[in-house]
Every structure is written in C-alpha cells, then in structure tokens.
Amino acid sequence: MIATKVKGMVTAEKAITIAQDFIADKLGNLIGVTQPYYITSGLQSVWVAPLVLTSPGYGIVGVVGAVMIDQAFGHVIGWTPLDEIHANVEKLSAEKEAELEAAFQARRLQYAHVMP
C-alpha cells in the first residue's frame, strides 16, 4: 500500500499528489494523472485518478489505467494491474506510432532552433 501523510479529508488536489507518488514509485516518467473523480458507497469513499500515457510534443496519448485513493486516509487502495498498464501503453504507442513520432520530431526541431 502506498501511503502519503494527509491532514483532513483528501481533496482532488491531494489525490493527484498521491497518484503522482504512486506513478513515481511504480511506473515512470511517461505516465501522468488527470483529474480524479469521486465515488462513494455505504462502505467507503474514494478518488479514482485516471493514469494517462504522455508524450513530448503530443501531450496526453490516452488512458492506460487508474489508481483508487481512500478519501478519508489518503491510502492507495487499488490500481489497474501494472502488467495491464504496460500492455495498454504498448497498445496505445503502436496505434499512434506515426502521430507520436511526428510530434516528437516537430518538438525536436523546435528545440534545435532554440539551441545554439
């Protein structure tokens, strides 16, 4: 379980920070988090933070998984299995290969003009 110390109930902003800690610990720098959404039941309330594949020059490629964060304590209580996230990354990367490469090359050229 990933735990980040929080004071009071977890807000959407805190949930993003907790999800980013999870990403840094388990996934790597091409995965980001988008706006979490709140789910409540008679047993527990959670934030669900979608995990997204990102690419330089392209931005968000698509959703590859999610992390569930307990709203009361800030613990990560569930996530898409890591092998499934990696498979989703591979699938999205393959589907958008030409677009991602074009965006990367455009960004590279942009920086080449800035660098001496």
Whole-model pTM: value is 0.82
pLDDT at 85 > cutoff 90: yes
Residues 3, 22 contacting (CB under 8 angstroms): no
Supply the range of the domain harboring residue 34: 12-114
pLDDT, position 10: 94
Residue 2 domain-assigned (yes or no): no
Residue 73 domain-assigned (yes or no): yes
CA–CA separation, 45 and 38 (whole Å): 7
Residue 56 domain-assigned (yes or no): yes
CA–CA separation, 19 and 27 (whole Å): 11
Residue 90 domain-assigned (yes or no): yes
pLDDT at 106 > cutoff 80: no
Structural domains counted in the chain: 1
The residues that bridge with 67 in the sheet, in sequence order, are 49, 79
Residue 108 domain-assigned (yes or no): yes
Residue 32 domain-assigned (yes or no): yes
Residue 5 domain-assigned (yes or no): no
Number of H helices, E strands in the chain: 3, 5
Query: Where does the pLDDT of residue 72 fall: very low under 50, low under 70, confident under 90, or very high at 90 and above?
Result: very high
Average pLDDT, the chain: 88
Residue 98 domain-assigned (yes or no): yes
Residues 68, 48 contacting (CB under 8 angstroms): yes
Dump pLDDT digits (tens) for 10-53.
999 999 999 999 999 999 888 999 999 999 998 899 999 999 99
